[in-house]
Chain A
Amino acid sequence: MSRFLLNQRLVEEQLPAGTVMLDVIRRRRGLTGTKDVCREGDCGACQVLLGKRQAGGLRYQAVNACLLPLGAVDGGHVVTVEGLNGERLNPIQQALVDNGAIQCGFCTPGLVMALTGFFLNSPASDEHAAVDAAAGNLCRCTGYAGIRRAINQLCRRFDLSGSPLARRIEDLVHWQILPPYFLTADETLAALPLHQAAPSPDAVRVAGGTDLFVQKLAWLQAQPLDFLPASGDGIRREGRDGIVDATTTIEQLRTSPLFRQWFPSAAQDFELICSAPVRARATVGGNLVNASPIADLAVFFLALDARLVIASATRLRTVALKDFFQGYKKTDLQPGERVREIRFDTAAAQHFSYEKVSKRTHLDIAGVNSALSIEQADGRIVKARLAAGGIGPVPAYLAATGACLQGKTIEPATVLEAVEIAQGEITPISDIRGSAEYKRLLLRQLIFAHFLKLFPDTIRWEQLHAR
């Protein structure tokens, strides 16, 4: 049984824990403002807010209800568009109406939720961040120009930088962006009795579920599920090691100050990984065990030569990420085991570059993605690690290329040699993400991009590209 606050009402649901909230909201509860479209987290029409209790009160994220299992909302607050409505349009709704952002209206409620999520979480009224928050909402009609105007107007009207997150809900209620019942939602939930039943030992472990619930929805509804607890602050340092809890969400990773110290461009690079509502749920560990050949974070951590700490009931073991992937969608993970954390040597972050190219720049699966880490001393490469996705059955650690780079001077000839060797290490196939010929060319270009970005003073385009 799941108990949670749905808008203003405490509700109980006896449905299987793997039932997605979209069906609970629309079919069971008749709240039809939440729309049912793609059921794979791509369109955003079903977005709702999910509030989870934390020290200091409820923290909300806009998430896709089609990928949100009932079992994951237990004890939380689920807000649909109906839960935001007042007697009059709220300022977000009004801005969308006034700026011509609404045509057929099917995407609109999801968009309202996404922008409300932005107002709940963004430290500042930053238009780019607001666009990113709303970029997981497809509008086919398409009112994007109007949506941008609305975002611009809202960001000018409300200054979030003067509203600390600890006081944000109060401010949003004052601004009439949220209805007043949000002020007491945390209290209401605190009164809920906890009923943590131990999961059965054969339960399927679910983290964010953002891929699992696309691929295996029907199966999951028939299984006992064990929802892995969310990570609090799952990124830390131990000596030279950087450690990321497997249940850290991609958004937590993207916005972690510590992670940003190591990888200054990660916040920007990771905007290319899914959309804000998916990043709010999808976990680092989930992306790795999913073992997709283009898994964005697998490629990222492979280039750090990361290790996985894997736990079972009886023991812990460590495996190199590059040995973890054993074949198409096949990993070294044994029954009963789960990935607990990811460790890497922070020295590998010295010179680090991540590249991803997909058909659509945002919220798309990579054609090819790649990462490179270089440790250098006096212009010589001490250690180099190159990884790439989309060019074989697994996210690939290009060992020979890395080995060839070791000890070399950082100069154009070295880059060209690396490209040559990398071509021998990959086996791309032609599919809907691109022809094999394209993927080979693209990997070459991304290797060029790594070096051009990391060593702009020593590597110049004209030296790599002889016409």
Chain B
Amino acid sequence: MHANDTDLHAQGASTFIDDMPEPAGLLHACPVVSGIAHGLIESIDLNDALACPGVVAILLARDIPGCNNIGNVEAGEVLLAEQEVVYQGQPVAVVVAESDAVARRAAGLVRICYKELPAVFDARAAHAQGLHIAPPRIFSLGDVDQAWKDCDVIVEGSAVSGAQEHVYLETQVAVAYPLENEGLKVFSATQSPGMVQRVIARVLDCAMNRVEVDVLRLGGAFGGKEEQATGWAAMAALAAGRLQKPVKIRMNQGEDMRWTGKRHPYDSDFKIGLDKTGRILAYEVCFYQNAGAVADLSLAILERTLFHAGNSYFIPNVRATAISCRTHLPPNTAFRGFGGPQAMFALEAAIFKAAAAMHVDPAHIQRRNLLQEGQPFPYGMPAENCRAQRCWQQLHDRFDLPRRQQAIDNFNAGHSLEKKALALMPICFGISFTATFLNQASALVHVYADGSVSVSCGAVEMGQGVKEKIRHVAARTLGIDKARIKVESTNTARIANMSPTAASVGSDLNGQATLLACQRILQGLKTVAARLAGGEPEQISIEQEQVCLDGRPTATGWNKLVSEAYLSRTPLSAHAHYATPKVFFDRSTERGRPFAYHVYGCAAVEVAVDCLRGTYRVTDVSIVHDGGRSLAPDIDRGQVEGGVVQGLGWMTLEEVRHDGQGRLLTDSLTAYKIPDLYFAPDIAVEFLDGDNPAAVMHSKAVGEPPLMYGIGGYFALVKAIRAFNPDWQPGFSAPMTPEKVLLALYECGC
């Protein structure tokens, strides 16, 4: 019997990298990072650090045997800075020592002299100076310029959404072991084992088959370990390869917060035009993305911002421009939602402002413009199997929203110092990697002679329950009990060229590959079973561990079948590859069908504001979520509940602050506040059932979309503030901290 991961977690018996026994002779690495945001390195003095007892080596860029590059986009994505540093916290050297404490102390003794250069930390300021990661991209539909004249109402404004720190509880960590024949085995807390392998091979100038990367599970990731686990693993590998000793690298919480990127802050300008019934005729938006110092995943994130510029609405005339601005902050990176949330925040701000100008509730405009079947997104793909209207309607019906709104109005009329408000947040999120080539996965399934099953695939478990879903797929396909199935660690020696576990598609892609591999084994087993049961393979099925002939159980059980198959030399292992069909995108025309399907949903977020103190509670979130036929309803519910709370955190409490030199001020959990148990609202989730031929067993991806329900929290707060101070004009600057709330309650224009 194979225990569920959750059972192991509850007993503290699950192994994370830092829990692995440390081998004898283990060395510890600690990066030496830039203390300034931008400058040229004039000299590096290692003497004091090298004199530290226990220090074994200090590695610099010149010690890299291969290519000093850990990115996918540009040359500046270096492992260790050479001449120039471009953000505070950028690694310049790696100290390797006999203990973690010595490595850290010695790292502090490395003296780097710089010639400081001007630095910029704000996206618009970077744009003004022409600092871009790449040329702007524009998605357009219809003719915006012509459409304005048909509008009865036009409003313009801007919206700002802040950074968000991932706060995965397991900080960045990797251990690299030297193997014979110049090989390396690397345990890395990464969402992208394939990329870690490729980059290590690149840095060490060796073949990829020399590097085995293994990931058992992650203690949270949320996008923060998609691209940014790579550098640390490469440092450990560099040191292990050079010193031929196992090397561990592990950030503490403060280091992790200071040295890694966050969700991208966005500054956006919008202009929206509507007719007098509330139909949106035209929408123009320009997104200024704060990319940080190097490309990282910023351009892919920027692209997804464009894909979601229209969210769940049909807007016939759209022009969305997106500009990735280079600043001197740590490179910002993937975070659940991947650019989508920022786009949706800007559009909701535009809708809110238009509603205020029209003296209607924003819900009126939202409802009026929800996507319908066949209407095109701004990139040309039509909405297929569209659920926007159904989610909206079901939410209103099942959660009795008209009555709740009435109760809120009554409450507000009777309370001068407490105001409540409810805001709606429809979402639509495209499922697939927007880099089409990543939409592939493979799985390797073994059935052992005792009937137990091992599944390897490219999905990394990080709390999203992908292993459970894979087990479910294998169990259902083979017709056996889930307890027989073990999903192995994610390992590059078993699965080659794996895509990151990201974009919500971990179970879609890897589940489908697992299904195909299981079917392949099943085919052989059916031949054996047909022989045993006296029929044709087409008449055979396996149900509840029993061989069935024409649907009726025979005397042969799974164990006997497997044993017979083995003795008759039938293959009990299979490898399968899956590539999402029909997805493509042409960047020269910005048109295509980039997504296998979309996930829809709608949330009602209710808040209560203490208008004396400026404090607030998000009291209730009601959701109808388009879940397909769930592989694991409890897991999907957890993903929705968790995503909502993270999204609410981003919109309310979570405020990343830097000083004027680009140094992170909010570098601890004391200073950077994430939602706690008290903060968490009551969340009611209802799943909209339905077929989804585009994903494994008609399920739907669930990881990212629910985060965007949290955006409703911002607008609910704005509504509650205006119930107290109707003169206040929101500036649409998230997060809506208690400070901003209090200032808004008593002043104007913040």
Interface residues of A (CB under 8 A from B): 30, 32-40, 42-43, 45, 80-82, 85, 89, 93-94, 96-97, 100, 102-109, 112, 131, 134-135, 137-148, 214, 355, 357-365, 367, 432, 434-435, 437-438, 441-442, 445-446, 448-449, 452, 461-462
- Among B11, B13, B18, B169, point to the contact of A104 (Cβ < 8 A): B169
Is the CB–CB distance between A147 and B12 below 8 Å?
no
Is the CB–CB distance between A144 and B464 below 8 Å?
no
List, sorted by A's number, 6 A–B pairs whose CB atoms are closer than 8 Å: A37-B169, A102-B6, A105-B219, A358-B738, A362-B676, A445-B613
B residues in contact with A80, CB < 8 Å: 12
- Among A135, A147, A359, A445, point to the contact of B612 (Cβ < 8 A): A445
Q: Which 6 A-B pairs have the closest CB atoms?
A: A33-B12, A104-B463, A105-B9, A144-B680, A106-B219, A103-B463
Is the CB–CB distance between B220 and A106 below 8 Å?
yes
- Among A94, A109, A140, point to the contact of B222 (Cβ < 8 A): A140
- Among B217, B668, B674, point to the contact of A140 (Cβ < 8 A): B674
The tally of CB-CB contacts under 8 A between chains A and B is: 214
Of residues 6 through 25 on chain B, the ones whose CB sits less than 8 Å from some CB of chain A are: 6-16, 18-19, 21
Complex: A35 Cα to B676 Cα, angstroms: 18
Is the CB–CB distance between B637 and A100 below 8 Å?
yes
Interface residues of B (CB under 8 A from A): 4-16, 18-19, 21, 166-171, 217-220, 222, 252-253, 416-417, 462-465, 612-615, 617, 634-635, 637-638, 641-642, 645-646, 653, 655, 657, 665-666, 668-671, 673-680, 682-683, 737-739, 742-743, 746
- Among B417, B635, B675, B739, point to the contact of A435 (Cβ < 8 A): B739
Given contacts A105-B463, A144-B677, A145-B683, contact A461 B167 (CB under 8 A): no
Is the CB–CB distance between A32 and B676 below 8 Å?
no
B residues in contact with A442, CB < 8 Å: 613-614, 742
Is the CB–CB distance between A135 and B678 below 8 Å?
yes
Minimum CB–CB distance from B103 to chain A (whole Å) comes to 14
Given contacts A104-B218, A105-B219, A107-B169, contact A145 B680 (CB under 8 A): yes
Is the CB–CB distance between B12 and A106 below 8 Å?
no
Minimum CB–CB distance from B120 to chain A (whole Å) comes to 22
- Among A36, A81, A362, A434, point to the contact of B11 (Cβ < 8 A): A81
Residue in chain B with minimal CB distance to A145: B641
- Among A105, A355, A360, point to the contact of B5 (Cβ < 8 A): A105
Residue in chain A with minimal CB distance to B685: A145
Residue in chain A with minimal CB distance to B668: A40
Is the CB–CB distance between A134 and B677 below 8 Å?
yes
B residues in contact with A148, CB < 8 Å: 677, 680
- Among B10, B170, B683, point to the contact of A89 (Cβ < 8 A): B10
A residues in contact with B645, CB < 8 Å: 142, 144-145
B residues in contact with A107, CB < 8 Å: 169
A residues in contact with B168, CB < 8 Å: 104, 106, 140
Is the CB–CB distance between A361 and B669 below 8 Å?
no
Complex: A143 Cα to B15 Cα, angstroms: 20
Given contacts A43-B669, A93-B10, A100-B634, contact A434 B676 (CB under 8 A): no
Complex: A361 Cα to B737 Cα, angstroms: 11
Complex: A96 Cα to B5 Cα, angstroms: 12
Is the CB–CB distance between A103 and B677 below 8 Å?
no
Is the CB–CB distance between B220 and A141 below 8 Å?
yes
Minimum CB–CB distance from A176 to chain B (whole Å) comes to 14
Complex: A140 Cα to B463 Cα, angstroms: 10
Complex: A364 Cα to B676 Cα, angstroms: 10
B residues in contact with A355, CB < 8 Å: 613
Is the CB–CB distance between A142 and B169 below 8 Å?
no
A residues in contact with B642, CB < 8 Å: 103, 141-143
Is the CB–CB distance between A38 and B19 below 8 Å?
no
Is the CB–CB distance between B613 and A42 below 8 Å?
no
Is the CB–CB distance between B12 and A82 below 8 Å?
yes
Is the CB–CB distance between A140 and B167 below 8 Å?
yes
Is the CB–CB distance between A446 and B673 below 8 Å?
no
Complex: A93 Cα to B19 Cα, angstroms: 20
- Among B11, B614, B743, point to the contact of A33 (Cβ < 8 A): B11
Is the CB–CB distance between A434 and B739 below 8 Å?
yes
Minimum CB–CB distance from A70 to chain B (whole Å) comes to 17
- Among A97, A138, A367, point to the contact of B7 (Cβ < 8 A): A97
Complex: A145 Cα to B679 Cα, angstroms: 11
A-B contact sample (18 more), CB < 8 A, given A82-B11, A100-B637: A42-B669, A97-B7, A104-B170, A104-B218, A138-B169, A140-B169, A143-B641, A148-B680, A360-B653, A361-B615, A361-B679, A362-B678, A365-B670, A434-B739, A435-B739, A445-B612, A449-B612, A461-B612
Minimum CB–CB distance from A270 to chain B (whole Å) comes to 14
Complex: A194 Cα to B143 Cα, angstroms: 86
Is the CB–CB distance between A33 and B13 below 8 Å?
yes
B residues in contact with A108, CB < 8 Å: 9-10, 12
Residue in chain A with minimal CB distance to B641: A145
B residues in contact with A42, CB < 8 Å: 668-670
B residues in contact with A32, CB < 8 Å: 12, 15-16, 18-19
Minimum CB–CB distance from B413 to chain A (whole Å) comes to 15
A residues in contact with B8, CB < 8 Å: 105
Q: Which of A85, A102, A435 has the most CB of B within 10 A?
A: A102
Complex: A143 Cα to B643 Cα, angstroms: 10
Complex: A236 Cα to B209 Cα, angstroms: 72
Is the CB–CB distance between B671 and A38 below 8 Å?
no
Complex: A340 Cα to B678 Cα, angstroms: 35
Is the CB–CB distance between B12 and A432 below 8 Å?
no
Minimum CB–CB distance from B97 to chain A (whole Å) comes to 16
Minimum CB–CB distance from B476 to chain A (whole Å) comes to 21
Minimum CB–CB distance from B372 to chain A (whole Å) comes to 32
Complex: A106 Cα to B655 Cα, angstroms: 24
Residue in chain A with minimal CB distance to B464: A103
Residue in chain A with minimal CB distance to B170: A106
Given contacts A108-B10, A137-B677, A361-B678, contact A38 B669 (CB under 8 A): yes
Complex: A360 Cα to B657 Cα, angstroms: 16
Minimum CB–CB distance from A267 to chain B (whole Å) comes to 16
Residue in chain B with minimal CB distance to A95: B10
- Among B617, B665, B674, B742, point to the contact of A445 (Cβ < 8 A): B742
Minimum CB–CB distance from B563 to chain A (whole Å) comes to 31
B residues in contact with A102, CB < 8 Å: 6, 9-10
Is the CB–CB distance between B169 and A103 below 8 Å?
no
- Among A39, A146, A358, A438, point to the contact of B253 (Cβ < 8 A): A39
Complex: A153 Cα to B542 Cα, angstroms: 38
A residues in contact with B683, CB < 8 Å: 145
A residues in contact with B6, CB < 8 Å: 96-97, 102, 105
B residues in contact with A141, CB < 8 Å: 220, 463, 638, 642
Minimum CB–CB distance from B662 to chain A (whole Å) comes to 15
Is the CB–CB distance between A34 and B169 below 8 Å?
no
Residue in chain B with minimal CB distance to A108: B9
Given contacts A37-B253, A102-B9, A148-B677, contact A357 B743 (CB under 8 A): no
Complex: A108 Cα to B219 Cα, angstroms: 11
Q: Which of A107, A109, A139, A140 has the most CB of B within 10 A?
A: A140
Is the CB–CB distance between A359 and B653 below 8 Å?
yes
Minimum CB–CB distance from A73 to chain B (whole Å) comes to 19
Complex: A106 Cα to B463 Cα, angstroms: 9
Q: Which of A139, A437, A461 has the most CB of B within 10 A?
A: A139
Residue in chain B with minimal CB distance to A102: B6
Given contacts A102-B6, A138-B169, A462-B416, contact A364 B641 (CB under 8 A): no
Complex: A40 Cα to B14 Cα, angstroms: 24
Minimum CB–CB distance from B551 to chain A (whole Å) comes to 34
Is the CB–CB distance between A89 and B638 below 8 Å?
no
Q: Which of B169, B634, B645, B679 has the most CB of A within 10 A?
A: B169
Is the CB–CB distance between B671 and A432 below 8 Å?
yes
Q: Which of B416, B665, B671 has the most CB of A within 10 A?
A: B671
Is the CB–CB distance between A360 and B673 below 8 Å?
yes
Is the CB–CB distance between A357 and B170 below 8 Å?
no
Given contacts A97-B6, A432-B665, A442-B614, contact A106 B169 (CB under 8 A): yes
Complex: A357 Cα to B673 Cα, angstroms: 14
Minimum CB–CB distance from B628 to chain A (whole Å) comes to 18
